[in-house]
Structures are given as structure tokens and as C-alpha cells.
Amino acid sequence: MALETYVQSLTTQHGAGTAMNTYTTAKSVINAQALYTLPANFWTVGRFLDIQVEAALSNIVTTPGTITFQVMMGTIVVLTSGALQLNATAHTLLPISIDARLTCRAVGAGTSANLMGQMWVRGIQPTLTATQVDAVNVSGVFAGPATAPAVGTGFNSTIANVLDFWVGFSISNAGNGITIHQYTAKTFI
């Protein structure tokens, strides 16, 4: 017999975010209004969370560097895309889409809780090599991380945790930037 479940929307971003550029260390890129505090003991084994991000991404030409997307539980990285190579064609505010799913594998205090997560990044900007350029703006889909799936960094699920989305660039340049246009996080109960 199937369980009856429903989708619970935890948070959505109400408007376009601030354009973020000229930085390298990953930081929050969603509007403060979209930050969501998960209550203590929110997580149960098997519960999952879906995050969808729609953004505009810019990158510089020739040596654009890499971009990293991170789902955060407070200051703990619970899922990372890893460093994704940006291609050698300059882009200005072109669409990029990120979908992430995290499933709770363990709960507890200290660093006992952990999540299994996978992420898919779709857009023109990520490429397989640093010298790859557009072939008439070919879009790709990239797995994050590009390694064997593994649980993320442990965190404390017995306390309240702020759910956040961070982005970092390997090269600080005004032409490497991101603006989050849509962000939503939902769970199934």
C-alpha cells in the first residue's frame, strides 16, 4: 500500500537577487528573504529535499576559471558541484539552471547527520575543458559532483540549521558573475 504524501514548499525567492561578481570564496547568492531555517529535528532518515535554482551567469573569455555551487546547512557544505570549468567564450547573463536532491541518510548531534546529494547543472557556460569554446552556444548538462556519489559533510540535525545556496568562482573578475532569478526549496512529507 502506498503512503499518501504531499509537497511542502519551504521557501521561494520573491525577486531577482543582487548581481554577485569580483569574488572567489563561495558565499550566499540568494536573497536574505529566501533563507530558510530548518527546525531542530527536521531531518528523518529517508526524508528528501529538492532545490531548484534559475540564474543568469556571466563568464570572461580565454581563461574563465571554474565555478562551484554549494548547498549549505549553516556553514557546513552538505552538497557541492565541485569545480565546474567555464568555457573560453565570454557570456553575459545567460541562463543556467541547477537542480539538487538531498536525501537524509543519518541523523544526530555533532556531525552525525548526513545527506546523500546529487546535482545537475544545465547551461552554455560549463564545459569539459578550459579551452573549449562555444559551438553556436551549445548547452550541456553536468553532474555535480563529477565523482562517485557520496554523503556530504556531517552536521548536527538536532539543532535548527539555515538552508542556503552558495556560489564561488576560481577567478575574481567583474565579468565572472551570477544573479539568482528563481530559487525554491521543497520537501515531501
* Contact present, 173 and 21 (Cβ < 8 Å): yes
Q: Which cell goes with 130?
A: 578550459
Q: Which cell goes with 64?
A: 574563465
Amino acid at 9: S
Per-position pLDDT tens, the chain of length 189: 576 778 899 999 999 999 999 999 999 999 999 999 999 999 999 999 999 999 999 999 878 899 999 999 999 999 999 999 888 888 899 999 999 999 999 999 999 999 999 999 998 888 776 555 655 556 678 888 878 888 999 999 999 999 999 999 999 999 999 999 999 999 987
Q: Which cell goes with 135?
A: 559551438
How far is Cα 68 from Cα 92, in angstroms, rounded to an integer?
18
Q: Which of 172, 173, 155 is nearest to 164 (CA)?
A: 155
Look at the chain and report how many structural domains it folds into: 1
Domain that holds residue 57: 7-188
Continuous H helices in 59-164: none
In a domain? residue 38: yes
In a domain? residue 1: no
In a domain? residue 24: yes
Q: Which of 121, 168, 163 is nearest to 143 (CA)?
A: 121
Please report which helix (H) or strand (E) contains residue 93, including its range. strand 91-106
In a domain? residue 2: no
Residues across the chain = 189
